[in-house]
Structure 1
Amino acid sequence: MPSNLYYLKESVYFEPLILRWYAWPYLLPPMSAAMNLTGRSLRLMKSFVANSRLHLAASQNPDLAGGDFVNCSEDQVDAVRALIDEMQTEHKDYVELRKAIVQLNDMLDKCEGMSLETLYDSVPEPLRGLVELVYDMSHSASFRMIEGLIYESSLYKPQVQSVSLGLLGGRLKERPFVLSSPRLPDENHLHLKVPFADPLIDRLFATRTRPVTREQIDAMFADVHREGGLSIDDLFTTEAPRITRKPLSDGLRVSYLGHAGLLLETAKTSILVDPVIAVRDEAHGDRVVSFSELPETIDYICVTHTHMDHVCIETLLQLRHKTRKVLVPKNGGGSIVDPSIKLMLQRIGFDVVEFEDMETLRCEDGLIRAIPFLGEHADLNIRSKTAWYFEFAGKKVFSGADSSSLDERMYKRIHQIIGDIDLLFIGMECVGAPMSWLYGALFTKPIPRDVNESRRFNGSDCASAQKIVDIFNPSEVYIYALGMEPWFKYFMGVDYDDDARQITESGRLLDICREKQVRAERLYAKQIWELN
């Protein structure tokens, strides 16, 4: 490279990894990480080693997108076998932890309401000192993880964290699905052995909009272990980003970022909601809102719930250098299916604030409020979920995410407090995956088929969303979080046809809104509202 100023290319994408697997929220907390890595990742890799051609054929079949098929090449079989051996030997504590959780659940299943105090000496050794034995109000025994203590133990392993950088365009046209395959070094990627809290990540992603010299680039990577065929030179360019943020002097600007992502801006405050920021490449171009269009400082990032399309570790790490605070829902405390978002994000370098239901933060020129939501969590006791309500520049915006009006009386009570709203954003993934798709590895006994099919991650259908519309009387309604944008297929793994229930149900809601003379739209790609 000549001696100039360089930017990280807009087409560079980033994947945080834990033991070579894509870091989604349930791989950060140590106990759920152990359960998923040993209960799911190992199973998939062993199946791949036993029959790699079956996996390769299935992973290339569009009809099986998002399925449990490892998308590694045949010449990576030995590398997958080595990763299996590493997990079973160097990280045997994770294997033992899963066994201990199974044993503890079996022991607690036998309890019949009598005191649990005498059982502490029988807690399996890997869990001793890390759990509290408890009953619920129906006298069913369970245990509570002492999460803060677990993060301070050897079970939290920043040393197994690394990152991968890829480049869209040229040899690689699209990103492969992230959940079913380990990410191994290859000719199309550069792997860096750095933990997520490392300042290198902040310095690197600041160069998307702040150029650096070649000497600064060399210093940035000087002591970092690197693998893969993509070179550092491949990542940088002397060309500044083509699309940048437009100045804002007054009013409220709301930008749709794709999927469930929103950006709210005033002259004094900038807020991101559930950001999943896409990289801009030649295929998708101006339809994508990418990093160069974001404010220089993000005052608040609001996340709604722990699912990976709402707490996107990949995007959050790339925004950490410019983020002041992350606002998250209050955690219930110690459930393996409901880990603390606050604790996991604090561990990787964020300043995090938890919000109770209906709690309000007053900003210099407006307010942010946490709104309870029902549904989309397979009826499990998941406390870590909230919708977000905003009042800025005389406008009211409700980011409902995957809310469902299972009990519209709750929303009527909320309406009595906040009144009618201007913009309503609501997800309508009304046929979600079965419970085992996300939580299967966290259970220690098989989930009965009928139970698994009944308890899905369903958002609102037309009837449910219509109740929310009728209650809040919005001026405008926008349906989002359907995973329709093709550049997000790498984590959504969905591809709707016109007859899909998600499309027909959301289409019915659009018709109902138009009959009510309410502006309504199913969102797709970039969209911006200037509200003065």
Structure 2
Amino acid sequence: MRYSLRQNIVVEPVIAGWYGWSYLLPPQTLARFVHNRFTPIVESYLKDPQTHAAAVRQRRMHGGPWIHAHEHRDAIEAWYRDTAPWRERLGELFEAMRKLEEEILPRHHGESLDPVYQVLPPALAGRVEVFYGRDNRTPDYRFIEPLMYASEYYDESWQQVRFGPVEQDAREFALTTPMLEYTPEHLLVDVPLNSPLLDTVFRGGLTEAELAALAARFGLTGERAALFASYFEPAQAPDLEPAATPDDDVLEYAGHACVFARYQGTTFLVDPVLSYSGYPGGAENRFTFADLPERIDHLLITHNHQDHMLFETLLRIRHRVGRVLIPKSSNASLVDPGLGGILRRLGFTDVVEVDDLETLRCGSAEVVSLPFLGEHGDLRIRSKTGWLIRFGERSVLFAADSTNISPTMYAKVTELIGEVDTVFIGMESIGAAASWIYGPLYGEPLDRRTDQSRRLNGSNFPQAKEIVDALRPDEVYVYAMGLEPWMGVVMAIDYDENHPAIVDSDLLVRHVRDKGATAERLHLRRTLRL
């Protein structure tokens, strides 16, 4: 008999004790998050756990700096004490960045920056480049990222995964709570996130002996090995009469911004965030991991936010993926670390960066990278794109959270690429303040008024209307709204019928339908014609 991971078992990535996502992998951004966000959260909790317990029960506090495992103070305090050496090492890197930004660079106002290299703190010496902005007076710096990953501040021994069951669609917000073994069903395993052992877990089809050997390689013995084995079940025999063959062309909305496509045998998956199955009471007709084919030829990432580049899903499907297409990144800065480097250190080997309006042939289809504006707090972030896929004569745009803040841009794009048949567009028109994601990376905090003015918004109705009026699609689908309950693990949105995003998206759907085209705000799953 062979065994595969149960469909309701989640394997969550952990970096330095926290839920792993892309800004925690590069050591320079991890150091900022640990110092500026995580340490204050834990110290606040240890001082007053009841405040955290009260906050997480209030909807208006959802997504705030609160620990959700408030009843586990002793475990969190012990973990915090035991991991002090991690924080001390990362603190050296944080202090080096602080000194460079606050003490060294401000001394220079246009004269040569050569002397800076002689006084760089040891943590940064030989690992950064300094330069002036175009005003020739404001100094800045970038990381030589491969050297940062090769440094003592990038330590794969800080990486783990946590196994445990999923028992309902809704998932609790994970970004502000240490990832510990809070229940008897939780199992933390020390393993680098790029380890092939994880591919073995997710590929499944293991004999009893192979499963025992895998547990041993994870360092599990006794009851912990037995718990690990309990996450597996007998593998199902292949369906002798599958509902669809690899030749069937299909476009499947899988929730949030995740869309699966198959065209003339070539498979695509955009912004993978997938739900689980195998537990009672779940929403019917969900697209889950079990619905994926054995091979995903092309994986497309629109931008580097945790709800579009979810490590948890990426690790689970890594063994199926051929090539990963990502937007071109050029900054190597704190706010825009190299997306390619992150994915390669996550274990992906075939990663291709695509520049604005560059076209790639991908099997039976063509992929074009389109400009993506907004939704990034007015920071200099290059790692974002909208993906246009041409399936033969039919073109489909995955615009993600691109915001039409430059009203003429899509008109100019249309002049080059032509009209588009199907548009997927995000309309979270009132997003979080920019500091919700980027705050730990700032040199100094923004005042509240400035922070609120630079929200991570998707398009509102007037902006989205201009996009669809320029592209003249015959189908428009609003997606990427965080409506699916499983998105709660990384998002903090509570909608009602009066929420601006719901009102704006309703207006867009009505506008498109009034023009005689198809429009819908998507939720859970939708099979679309291709």
Question: How high is the TM-score relative to the length of structure 2?
Answer: 0.94
User: Deviations along 1:402-432, whole A, 9 cap, x unmatched?
Assistant: 0111113221221112211111000001111
Query: What CA distance in whole angstroms lies between the structure 1 residues aligned with 2:129 and 2:451?
Result: 28
Distance 1:420 1:174, change over 3 A: closer
AA in 1 matched with 2:212: D
1:220 aligns with 2:214: yes
Residues 191 and 228 in structure 1, CA contact (< 8 A), matched pair in contact too: no
User: Deviations along 1:171-192, whole A, 9 cap, x unmatched?
Assistant: x785321111001113131111
Please state how far the C-alpha of 1:323 moved relative to its aligned partner.
0.6
1:185 aligns with 2:181: yes
Which of 52-61 and 264-273 deviates more? 52-61
Paired residue secondary structure (2:425): strand
**Residue 252 of structure 1 is aligned with which of 249, 252, 258?**
249
Query: What CA distance in whole angstroms lies between the structure 2 residues aligned with 1:7 and 1:286?
Result: 23
Which of 269-278 and 87-96 deviates more? 87-96
Query: What CA distance in whole angstroms lies between the structure 1 residues aligned with 2:212 and 2:179?
Result: 25
Distance 1:489 1:287, change over 3 A: farther
Please state how far the C-alpha of 1:156 moved relative to its aligned partner.
1.3
Q: How does 1:193-208 map to 2 (within 5 A)?
A: 193-207=190-204
Gaps of 5+ in 2: none
In the other structure, the counterpart of 1:160 is 158
1:81 aligns with 2:77: yes
Distance 1:136 1:188, change over 3 A: same
In the other structure, the counterpart of 1:373 is 372
User: Deviations along 1:72-93, whole A, 9 cap, x unmatched?
Assistant: 243x323322333344334412
**Residue 312 of structure 2 is aligned with which of 309, 314, 327?**
314
Paired residue secondary structure (1:222): helix
Query: What CA distance in whole angstroms lies between the structure 2 residues aligned with 1:483 and 1:230?
Result: 36
Please state how far the C-alpha of 1:289 moved relative to its aligned partner.
0.8
Q: How much identity, in percent, do the aligned residues show?
A: 36
AA in 2 matched with 1:166: G
In the other structure, the counterpart of 2:502 is 503
Paired residue secondary structure (1:437): helix
Which of 349-358 and 88-97 deviates more? 88-97
Which of 341-350 and 105-114 deviates more? 105-114
User: Deviations along 1:452-485, whole A, 9 cap, x unmatched?
Assistant: 1111101100000011100100010000000001
Paired residue secondary structure (2:123): helix
In the other structure, the counterpart of 1:122 is 119
Query: What CA distance in whole angstroms lies between the structure 2 residues aligned with 1:119 and 1:414?
Result: 43
Query: What CA distance in whole angstroms lies between the structure 1 residues aligned with 2:292 and 2:255?
Result: 14
Please state how far the C-alpha of 1:251 moved relative to its aligned partner.
6.2
Q: How does 1:413-492 map to 2 (within 5 A)?
A: 413-492=412-491
In the other structure, the counterpart of 2:18 is 21
Residues 305 and 385 in structure 1, CA contact (< 8 A), matched pair in contact too: yes
Residues 16 and 86 in structure 2, CA contact (< 8 A), matched pair in contact too: no
Query: What CA distance in whole angstroms lies between the structure 2 residues aligned with 1:228 and 1:45?
Result: 28
Query: What CA distance in whole angstroms lies between the structure 1 residues aligned with 2:107 and 2:115?
Result: 14
Question: How high is the TM-score relative to the length of structure 1?
Answer: 0.94
Please state how far the C-alpha of 1:110 moved relative to its aligned partner.
3.6
Query: What CA distance in whole angstroms lies between the structure 2 residues aligned with 1:257 and 1:370?
Result: 22
Distance 1:523 1:321, change over 3 A: same
User: Deviations along 1:256-292, whole A, 9 cap, x unmatched?
Assistant: 0100001111232101100101111322243321111
In the other structure, the counterpart of 1:405 is 404
Query: What CA distance in whole angstroms lies between the structure 2 residues aligned with 1:173 and 1:413?
Result: 42
User: Deviations along 1:225-278, whole A, 9 cap, x unmatched?
Assistant: 359798124312226399997424656311101000011112321011001011
Paired residue secondary structure (2:172): coil
Gaps of 5+ in 1: none
Please state how far the C-alpha of 1:14 moved relative to its aligned partner.
1.7
Query: What CA distance in whole angstroms lies between the structure 2 residues aligned with 1:95 and 1:21?
Result: 16
Residues 245 and 293 in structure 1, CA contact (< 8 A), matched pair in contact too: no
In the other structure, the counterpart of 2:148 is 150
Paired residue secondary structure (1:452): helix
Query: What CA distance in whole angstroms lies between the structure 2 residues aligned with 1:437 and 1:383?
Result: 19
**Residue 301 of structure 1 is aligned with which of 299, 309, 314?**
299
Distance 1:225 1:59, change over 3 A: farther
User: Deviations along 1:125-151, whole A, 9 cap, x unmatched?
Assistant: 211111111111023111111111111
Query: What CA distance in whole angstroms lies between the structure 2 residues aligned with 1:32 and 1:230?
Result: 37
Query: What CA distance in whole angstroms lies between the structure 2 residues aligned with 1:240 and 1:480?
Result: 33
Paired residue secondary structure (1:166): strand
